[in-house]
Amino acid sequence: MPQQGYSTRFKGIAVICTVAAAAFAQGQPAATRSQIAGTVSAVDAAANHLTLKSDKDGVVEVNTTARTLVLRIPPGETDPKKGSKVALSTLAPGDRAVIVGPAPIGNTWNAGAILVMTRGDIASIQQKEEEDWRRRGTTGNVTAIDAAARSITIKSGSHTYTVATDAKTTWNRYSLESARFADAKPSTFDAVKAGDQLRVLGNKSEDGASIQAEKIVFGSFRQIAATISSIDLAKGEMTVKDLATKKPLVIKVDSDSTMRRLPEQMARMLARRYAPGGRQPEAPANAPAMAGRGGRGPGGGDVGQMLDRLPAMALAELKPGDAVMVSTTQGSDPGHATAIMLLAGVEPLLTASPTATRDIMSGWDLGGGGGGDTGQ
């Protein structure tokens, strides 16, 4: 899933530092107190020194003394009194830290205190966020917006949901070039447009028709059916022919791209499902279980989860002439895009339904959160 941004994950530790700055910089004029947050890149405990890749100001050098207080803050805590004192030598690259002290001299900080969250704690938080998005997250295409009610209608697979928002709902919009949450920017209800792909974290109503949104991340993506014209493995690119526009498109495949191939039996099962008037057939015995998150289709099956459980596919497994469904970034260049999700083995689907690409790709989870929080 799109990865979460550290800035949102560490709001709590920033709050801690606001309180802690006064305690750790007593006697200093308020104007000289400062703090900086970032990721530890190197530690030299013998020299009482660490290097921090800050969130805003690039790489900074941090000096400590015997009086510098180093506190490990437990995940989710905002009270510095619940932090535990640790030695500078316990810090490691990948840990998150906030440096509190007097105003820096150039890019050098003299730390009065260091508040740290370990890389392991970060992983624990991320895992819980991802589990929450898998359990309570829904992905779909925006079909209608009610400005007066501040609600949004999305279509996820074969289901339609009304997404209710309030003042507590947080909003982020994906960039044109990326589906990574770390690249998303804070946004608002007013920025949502019909056709956007939207991920929402929240509880569904008892009848399953509405979702009370806690977190929303949305953006404009292309969902296309295409045939592959050529593949350049060295560049990690493929040139395809968009079946709707008949125009060529160069699609970049990178480490964030999700690629799967439908087994023939599963492709035919889904073709019957998505054909006009189709109904959910009996799933084959060897089909991955279809239950859990996101939009649930006829018979309770979750196609997005089924696709996620298929084995990953490499670009080298594709060949010219293959038909694919692809969800890509919108991109600033109409002739180029980056693959977010690609599904091969889709010939039966394309034959059965002209809307299969939209219905399947819009409901396949971009990841979260949320990520991939994909929420924040």
User: How much is the pLDDT for 87?
Assistant: 96
Residues, the chain: 376
Domain count, the chain: 3
Q: Is the residue at 376 inside a domain?
A: no
Contacts of 145 (CB under 8 A, 6+ apart): 151, 152, 153, 192, 193, 194
| Contact between 92 and 117 (Cβ < 8 Å) | no
Higher pLDDT, 237 or 175: 237
- How far apart, in whole angstroms, are the C-alpha atoms of residue 265 and residue 334? 35
Q: Is the residue at 123 inside a domain?
A: no
| Contact between 49 and 68 (Cβ < 8 Å) | no
Question: Same domain for 300 and 318?
Answer: yes
Among the listed residues 217, 189, 188, 177, the one whose alpha carbon sits nearest the alpha carbon of residue 371: 217
State both tokens at 67: 């009086």
Question: Same domain for 202 and 321?
Answer: no
Q: Is the residue at 313 inside a domain?
A: yes
To which residue do tokens 């292309």 refer? Answer: 222
Indicate whether 71 pLDDT > 70: yes
Question: Same domain for 205 and 156?
Answer: yes
Question: Same domain for 279 and 295?
Answer: yes
Question: Same domain for 207 and 229?
Answer: no
Higher pLDDT, 43 or 29: 43
User: How much is the pLDDT for 317?
Assistant: 96
Q: Is the residue at 234 inside a domain?
A: yes
Question: Same domain for 235 and 348?
Answer: yes
pLDDT digits (tens, 9 = 90+) for 217-257: 999 888 899 999 999 999 999 999 999 999 999 999 998 89
Question: Same domain for 358 and 294?
Answer: yes
User: How much is the pLDDT for 371?
Assistant: 38
Which of 74-78, 213-217, 368-372 ranks highest by mean pLDDT? 213-217
| Domain limits for position 27 | 6-117
Chosen domain end from 167, 188, 220: 220
Indicate whether 8 pLDDT > 50: no
Mean pLDDT of the chain: 81
Q: Is the residue at 355 inside a domain?
A: yes
pLDDT digits (tens, 9 = 90+) for 341-352: 899 999 998 988
Question: Same domain for 81 and 138?
Answer: no
Indicate whether 335 pLDDT > 80: yes
User: How much is the pLDDT for 76?
Assistant: 72
Q: Is the residue at 110 inside a domain?
A: yes
State both tokens at 320: 């010219």
Q: Is the residue at 369 inside a domain?
A: no
Question: Same domain for 159 and 76?
Answer: no
Provide DSSP, 73-127: PPTT---GGG-EE--GGG--TT-EEEEEEEPPBTTEEE-SEEEEE-HHHHHHHHH
Q: Is the residue at 372 inside a domain?
A: no
CATH number at residue 204: 2.40.50.320
pLDDT category at 68 given cuts 50, 70, 90 is: very high
Question: Same domain for 342 and 226?
Answer: yes
| Contact between 142 and 193 (Cβ < 8 Å) | yes
pLDDT digits (tens, 9 = 90+) for 196-219: 989 999 999 999 999 999 999 999
Q: For strand 210-219 and strand 170-173, is the pairing parallel, antiparallel, or unpaired? A: parallel
Put the strands of the sheet holding 49-54 in their side by side order.
84-85, 69-72, 113-117, 96-102, 33-44, 49-54, 59-63, 108-110
The CA–CA distances, whole Å, from 162 to 141, 146, 293, 367, 373 equal 12, 10, 16, 21, 21
Among the listed residues 271, 296, 273, the one whose alpha carbon sits nearest the alpha carbon of residue 365: 296
Question: Same domain for 213 and 229?
Answer: no
Question: Same domain for 226 and 359?
Answer: yes
Over residues 62-88, mean pLDDT: 88
Chosen domain end from 220, 235, 250: 220
User: How much is the pLDDT for 279?
Assistant: 52
Chosen domain end from 55, 87, 117: 117
